[in-house]
Structure formats: structure tokens, C-alpha cells
Structure 1
Amino acid sequence: MTRGSQRDRDRERAQARNKQGKGKDDGLTPEQRRERDAKALQEKAAKKAAQSSGGGGDNKSTTKK
């Protein structure tokens, strides 16, 4: 096998691997992606704040006697 055909075959295999994996191309611009991520982080922080302020009883850290 010559080196040229090996490169071509390797390129084809790499393209096939990239198609299978999770791609970054979700059709959003970087600014839209930032907005989406910021909204998700705000929701996550609000959920965590509500859980920590309202919980109390489900706290797993206990004091030893």
C-alpha cells in the first residue's frame, strides 16, 4: 500500500468518526450560544438557591456526638 492511499483512507475514517460523535454545530451563533448557556446557568443557580433555602431537613451533613 502506498502512503498516499493510506492518507486518503485515514481521512475517510476520521470523517466517519466525526459524524458519529457529538458535534458542536447546533446551528447557533456564538452570541446565541452564550445567551442559552447563561440562561441555563441562571436557572440552575435559582434552583440550587431555592433548594438550599427551603430544604433544611434533607441536609446530609450531620454533627457527630
Structure 2
Amino acid sequence: MARGNQREKAREKNQKAQAGTKNKNSMSGTEFQRAKEDAAAIMRAKQAAADAKKGEASNKK
């Protein structure tokens, strides 16, 4: 059975890859919440700017 070694090598390679991607989120719960709120505030500001720009464009017509 020549494939036995090939399977073992593939298993080892997969385990190394999985070990490298395990800890994607290293933030605690409060840090994660704060990051979410900061991102939401930025998006609200962008949306307000876009709405203001839309309002100016409609007033010019």
C-alpha cells in the first residue's frame, strides 16, 4: 500500500495548517465589543456624509 504514507503526510500537513489558523480572534469580549462599536460609529458617519451629499445634490436640481 503505497498510499498509506501519502495519507499520513497529508494528515500532518493539514494539522500544521489547522494549528496555524486556530486563534483568529485574540480579542477579549470587551475589546471585541469596543471594536464593533467603533466600526459602527465610522459607518454611521460615512452614511450621514453620504446622505448629506445626496441632499445637496437634490437641492441643486
The two structures have a TM-score, normalised by structure 2, of: 0.51
Segments ≥4 residues shifted beyond 2 Å: 5-8, 10-13, 15-19
The one-letter amino acid of 1:44's match is M
RMSD: 3.0
CA distance in 2, matches of 1:37, 1:44: 11
- Counterpart residue number, 1:39: 38
Q: Structure 2 regions of 5+ residues with no counterpart?
A: none
Q: Distance in 1 between matches of 2:19 and 2:40?
A: 28
Task: Quote the Cα distance in structure 1 between the aligned partners of 2:50 and 2:32.
Answer: 27
Structure 1, unaligned stretches of length 5 or more?
60-65
Give distance in 1, aligned partners of 2:12 and 2:32.
Answer: 30
TM-score normalized by the length of structure 1: 0.49
Residues matched between the structures, number: 53
Between the aligned partners of 1:28 and 1:50, the Cα distance in structure 2 is 30
Moved more, 6-15 or 42-51: 6-15
Quote how far apart the aligned CAs of 1:2 are: 5.5
Whichever structure has more helix as a proportion of its residues is 2
The match for 1:62 is: none
